[in-house]
């Protein structure tokens, strides 16, 4: 269940993701999209936020045991933070290359694992930070500037 708090022009929401649960994959990013629309964020920026949150959510579902997505909206900025408890990324530079994927056949057969997730996150974020520790997990911070 999401935790949400709204205070005038500010919003904070926290959403849990269950690793391996492809039946619920996309629910968090859809909720983020609806929330941003309801907050009056312009459509082109909602689209960017939906893309980065969906790509990050699918990565958590595909690779991690679990994760959390924190959405913070303040005047002028949307911040999306994703923290997972997964295997970590041994080589971030390699993982950032288009088409690079460690997805297994099961994930690929479901239509995921094309190796575009992190690239799309970087391309659709105004600022993107990634930190990963092998055996512990990955932490993403995405920023989208708003008017």
Residue 32 to residue 71: CA distance in whole angstroms: 8
Query: What is the fold of 3-145?
Result: Heat Shock Protein 90 (3.30.565)
Residue 108 to residue 97: CA distance in whole angstroms: 18
Mean pLDDT value across residues 51-69: 98
Mean pLDDT value across residues 4-16: 82
- Predicted confidence at residue 122, as pLDDT, reads 98
Sheet of strand 137-145: strand arrangement = 3-7, 10-18, 66-74, 77-85, 137-145, 127-133
Which tens digit of pLDDT belongs to each residue from 77-105? 999 999 999 999 999 999 999 988 888 88
The CA angle 76-10-127, to the nearest 5 degrees, is 40
Domain boundary assignment for the chain:
3-145
């Amino acid at each position: 269940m999401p935790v949400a708090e709204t205070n005038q022009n500010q919003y904070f929401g926290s959403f849990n993701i269950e690793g391996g649960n492809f039946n619920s994959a996309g629910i968090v990013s859809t909720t983020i999209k609806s929330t941003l629309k309801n907050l009056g964020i312009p459509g082109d920026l909602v689209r960017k936020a939906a893309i980065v949150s969906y790509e990050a959510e699918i990565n958590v579902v595909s690779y991690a045991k679990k994760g959390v997505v924190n959405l913070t909206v303040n005047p002028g900025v949307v911040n999306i933070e994703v923290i997972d408890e997964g295997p970590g990324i041994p080589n971030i530079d390699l993982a950032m290359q288009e088409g690079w994927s460690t997805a297994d056949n099961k994930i690929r057969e479901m239509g995921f694992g094309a190796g575009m997730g992190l690239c799309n996150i970087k391309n659709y974020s105004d600022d993107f930070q990634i930190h990963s520790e092998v055996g512990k997990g990955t932490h993403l911070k995405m920023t989208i500037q708003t008017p």
